[in-house]
């Protein structure tokens, strides 16, 4: 999965999380928050790998 694909998935999950919060689905919102944090972690790892490779 590329960095652009990860960022697109993050945007998609953010929108789903907002919909879940609006419809009072707290358990789904919590799950989506967890998924978002996992994807953000992957983007940070990707950035770290990219940075260390070129420096």
pLDDT at position 8, please?
A: 94
pLDDT at position 46, please?
A: 78
pLDDT at position 53, please?
A: 67
Question: What secondary structure does DSSP assign to 1-55, as a single string?
Answer: --HHHHHHHHHHHHHHHHHHHHTT-HHHHHHHHHHHHHHHHHHHHHHHHHHHHH-
Query: Cα(49)–Cα(30) distance, rounded to whole angstroms?
Result: 29
1-55 residue pLDDT tens: 788 888 999 999 999 999 999 999 999 999 999 999 999 998 888 777 766 766 5
pLDDT at position 55, please?
A: 58
0.85 exceeded by the pTM? no
pLDDT at position 47, please?
A: 74
């Amino acid at each position: 999965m590329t960095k652009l694909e990860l960022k697109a998935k993050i945007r998609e999950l953010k929108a789903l999380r907002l919909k879940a919060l609006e419809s009072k689905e707290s358990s789904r919102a919590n799950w989506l928050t967890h998924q978002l944090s996992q994807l953000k972690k992957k983007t940070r790892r990707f950035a770290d790998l990219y940075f260390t490779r070129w420096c």
